[in-house]
Amino acid sequence: MTSQSEPQRTPLCEEHIALGAKMVDFAGWYMPVSYQGLREEHLACRAAVGLFDVSHMGEVRIKGPNALATVEWLTTNYAGKLNNGQAQYSLLPNDQGGLVDDLIVYCVEKDADYLLCVNASNTEKDFKWMLENNRGADITNESSSWGQIAVQGPKAMILAERVCGEAVLNIPSFEFRTIAYGGDHLLVARTGYTGEDGVEIFVPSSRTADLWRDLLAQGKDLGVTPVGLGARDTLRTEMKYPLYGHEIDDHSNPYSAGLGWVVKPDKKDFVGRAKILAGKEAGLPRKLVGLKMLERGIARQGYKLFSTEGTEIGVVTSGTPSPSLNENIGVAYVEKQWAADGKQINVDIRGRMVKAEIVPTPFVNKKS
């Protein structure tokens, strides 16, 4: 039995160690932060194909005659429109108008069976919240039963086809299929957190290492590269994808965070609906934006932002050197009047005012 303070290990922990990964304690999990280097791993995912161990993510199953009613009450997006094999990005609101988490809802069987994938650090909190706000469904924490591997990049689908069969090529974005794999079944979803094409594969825990080794072996000629948490963060920051504890938290109104597109108050009632709408109608004072550093310096989470006249106007939520752009970028909340592209502001970097500019997002992979 592991002690309370010892981090949990995914089914791929020994694989990472064998590959020489630098391991760290992340959200209570012993995880690879990098293998050959953050920059190399990031660029490999943008140019070829990256493999990510996301087995630390939580999986909660909601089943039974009241499954849909429960999912609708718990989440902001309209799950009622999902048919078998479809998925949607959604939010788990609290009763104060903030957010418990963000998540993906997978419809296994319409009205009766849903798999919810939640953030690793929030799994226990989310599961408890779901039980407390259950509308009569059978809710089970299945996290220990699943491993999960993300295959991401321009060559990801070539590799996915080699390992999972050509059926995966016909999976549309935000849909999933059950695929046979060596006597077991995989749930292969056309989703991801990098801005690249690819899949996230849910695999029985006992088969996760087999699948990982298979993907590495069959992707050698494609330039397949294991990617750690470091590059996972830079990839998602370049896309301005939110991360719980950075862009969103218990106090975030989803409209401020630019997530109003997954809030469907006209379709249904949900936890915290009235307070989320009241916040929106009162006029939200701040907005989430992208920024680019104009002078030397990295905008880190928690750094304060100031107008050129010296007034405090916001705070950084995420910041990093961008391997794709060779520029320092960040995501931040600013007062609404400062949210326009092209506005110049200052970042307080340890007492030094450093120039930055509000810019359009995502920083990379913009749709034409």
Identify whether residues 168 and 298 lie together within a single domain: no
Last residue of a domain, one of 168, 203, 238: 238
Identify whether residues 151 and 230 lie together within a single domain: yes
Which two tokens mark 106?
Answer: 């997978």
227-268 pLDDT, tens per residue?
Answer: 999 999 999 999 999 999 999 999 999 999 999 999 999 999
Last residue of a domain, one of 205, 221, 238: 238
Q: For the domain that residue 341 is a member of, what is the CATH number?
A: 2.40.30.110
Give the amino acid at 268: K
Question: Looking at the predicted structure, is the pLDDT value of residue 4 above 90?
Answer: no
Structural domain includes residue 219: yes
Structural domain includes residue 201: yes
Burial of 263 (C-beta count, 10 Å sphere; 0-12/13-18/19+)? buried
Identify whether residues 230 and 309 lie together within a single domain: no
Q: What is the mean pLDDT of residues 25-37?
A: 95
Question: Looking at the predicted structure, is the pLDDT value of residue 367 above 90?
Answer: no
Which two tokens mark 63?
Answer: 């089943």
Structural domain includes residue 260: no
* Chain-centre distance for alpha carbon 171: 20
C-alpha dihedral (64, 66, 68, 72), degrees to nearest 10:
-140
Q: For the domain that residue 49 is a member of, what is the CATH number?
A: 3.30.1360.120
- Other CB atoms within a 10 A radius of the CB of residue 258 amount to 15
Structural domain includes residue 246: no
61-78 pLDDT, tens per residue?
Answer: 999 999 999 999 999 999
- Other CB atoms within a 10 A radius of the CB of residue 131 amount to 12
Q: What is the mean pLDDT of residues 42-70?
A: 98
Confidence of residue 5 (pLDDT cuts 50, 70, 90): confident
Structural domain includes residue 233: yes
Distance CA 60, CA 96 (A): 23
The domain total for the chain is 2
Last residue of a domain, one of 238, 258, 276: 238
Identify whether residues 296 and 222 lie together within a single domain: no
Identify whether residues 233 and 367 lie together within a single domain: no
Per-residue confidence (pLDDT) for residue 308, from 0 to 100: 94
80-126 pLDDT, tens per residue?
Answer: 999 999 999 999 999 999 999 999 999 999 999 999 999 999 999 99
| Three-state secondary-structure class, residue 273 | helix
Per-residue confidence (pLDDT) for residue 34, from 0 to 100: 98
Domain that holds residue 337: 285-368
Q: Which residues contact 2 (CB under 8 A, 6 or more apart)?
A: 8
Contact (Cβ atoms closer than 8 angstroms) between residue 292 and residue 345: no
Identify whether residues 221 and 160 lie together within a single domain: yes
Q: What is the model's pTM?
A: 0.96
Identify whether residues 162 and 306 lie together within a single domain: no
Tell me the helix, strand and coil percentages in the chain, rounded to 5: 25, 35, 35
Per-residue confidence (pLDDT) for residue 27, from 0 to 100: 87
Identify whether residues 232 and 296 lie together within a single domain: no
Identify whether residues 234 and 289 lie together within a single domain: no
Confidence of residue 365 (pLDDT cuts 50, 70, 90): confident
Which two tokens mark 155?
Answer: 């060559």
Contact (Cβ atoms closer than 8 angstroms) between residue 16 and residue 23: yes
Question: Looking at the predicted structure, is the pLDDT value of residue 32 above 80?
Answer: yes
